Amino acid sequence: MSPTVFNEEGFRFFFFSREESRMHVHVNCADGEAKYWLEPQIELARNYRLSRAQLKRTEWLHSGAL
């Protein structure tokens, strides 16, 4: 199961409920996906084909969503 936390500008923010204990969120769009750690601070964990501009945009959207 992967509940959606937030949808904005073609980006879907979601998580897998039983993936791992460290809090994180996945961000998906048509071009790829990224994973951000939420603790101890918001930090990019992985990037799959998103451009630097897209990552910046997801980080900006992400900061407003949490």
Q: Is the pLDDT of residue 64 over 80?
A: no
pLDDT of residue 33: 97
- Which among 24, 8, 25, 15 has a CA at the least distance from the CA of 61? 8
pLDDT digits (tens, 9 = 90+) for 4-59: 999 999 999 999 878 888 999 999 999 999 999 998 988 999 999 999 999 999 99
| Phi and psi torsions of 39, nearest 5° | -130, 145
Residue 23: count of CB within 10 angstroms of its CB: 11
- Tokens at residue 27, please? 């961000």
pTM assigned to the model:
0.88
> Judging by DSSP bridges, how do beta strands 24-29 and 32-37 pair with one another?
antiparallel
pLDDT of residue 66: 56
